[in-house]
Structure 1
Amino acid sequence: MSEAPKEPSKEASVVAPDSTQTAGGILKEARARQTLDKDWDPISPPPIDGVYVKDVKNVIYRGGVLTELYRPEWFAGEAFPIGHVVHVSLLPGLVTQWHCHHVQRDIVFPVRGFLRIGLYDARQDSPTLGKSFAMNFNLHRPRYLHIPPGVWHSLKNVGTDEAVYIVLNDVPFEYENPDDWTLAQDSPALPSGLL
């Protein structure tokens, strides 16, 4: 006659709130870390110096939705003269080439679809040299992403339809001498898995 299995002790099934453990082949859950406050604002800024996110509010009106695209006071007291604006579309699943600029700053704003952006700080004089950051964004929760010179970035359309975004630059584009520097997606100089 076989004995009934013993009940696990309550002590054995207690897991520290911020850890994942396996005991006897049973996976124990881990508490998700807080990312938003009670007003649904991000808890912490991006970990790259000079990169910041600005939430923009949609205004719902009788005929649809109105979204502001630019206000000078949104940029942390820094002047951001608009020197060039481009509208970019990206087909589902496609990824832009990793690129950075030596002079210009970018502001990326989603217009349609679901995008994921990855960033990597390669600035030798930056306090956040070597840090990376990724975030999803779309027009359901519109937000600007400010990217300073020297920060590598790439965008991926993670949705099932075409994605569209606008990029504002603070200097005019020079066709003969573009301030665009590129790396291959699989470059060992960049962290993998951001997109």
Structure 2
Amino acid sequence: MIHDVETRDLQVNADERGHLVEIFREDWEEYDPEPAMSYYSLSYPGVTRAWHRHTRGQVDHFICPSGRIKVGIYDDREDSPTQGEVNKFVIGEHNQKAIRIPGDCWHGFKVVGNEQAILINFPTNLYDYDDPDEERLPPDTDEIPMDWDEQPY
């Protein structure tokens, strides 16, 4: 696992009415530092939202409550013991998991399967509309050794 990336299996409490899943608790170590905001994005089947990273200390916390996504994380930090490593996670309805992503690692996701997916993020910094903290690369960049279409997921 990439240095500072953490995951937490989320407990699904199901009964005849449906299910309930806790996605944030202040006593979970994965949420350190604490989130400053939350948002969700809805993406259509096959859509890839990658690559980006943050340079001002932001940490992201990804959860996919609906649909299925492949999350990719690439560590190119010069001072990291896992420099050059890639992590891949497939999360969603079938595998409820929270992923803590150091913002200075390149990261993104792709919707896999035939249904749209919802991603919830709890970033630790507020989004600055006038000066966004984002660097971007295209999904198929040669700078990151990951193929979004590689299977199995």
TM-score by length of 2: 0.90
Give the corresponding residue for 1:144.
Answer: 98
Aligned pair count reads 148
- Aligned residue for 1:81, secondary structure, equals coil
Residue identity in the other structure for 1:82: P
Shift of 1:182: 0.5
What does 1:34-183 align with in structure 2 at a 5 Å threshold?
Answer: 47-76=1-30, 79-102=32-55, 103-183=57-137
Give the corresponding residue for 1:29.
Answer: none
5+ unaligned residues in a row in structure 1: which ranges?
1-46
Q: Which of the pair has the greater relative contact order for Cα pairs under 8 Å at 6+ separation?
A: 2
- Taking only the aligned residue pairs, the percentage that are identical comes to 28
| Structure with higher strand content | 2
TM-score by length of 1: 0.72
Residue identity in the other structure for 2:105: V
Q: Which has the larger radius of gyration?
A: 1
- Aligned residue for 2:27, secondary structure, equals helix
Q: Deviations over 1:37-65 (max 9, x none)?
A: xxxxxxxxxx2000011001011134210
Q: Deviations over 1:133-161 (max 9, x none)?
A: 11111123211000012111120111101
Shift of 1:186: 2.1
- Aligned residue for 1:172, secondary structure, equals coil
Give the corresponding residue for 1:14.
Answer: none
Q: Please, what is the CA RMSD of the aligned residues?
A: 1.4
Give the corresponding residue for 1:15.
Answer: none
Shift of 1:82: 2.0
Shift of 1:172: 1.0
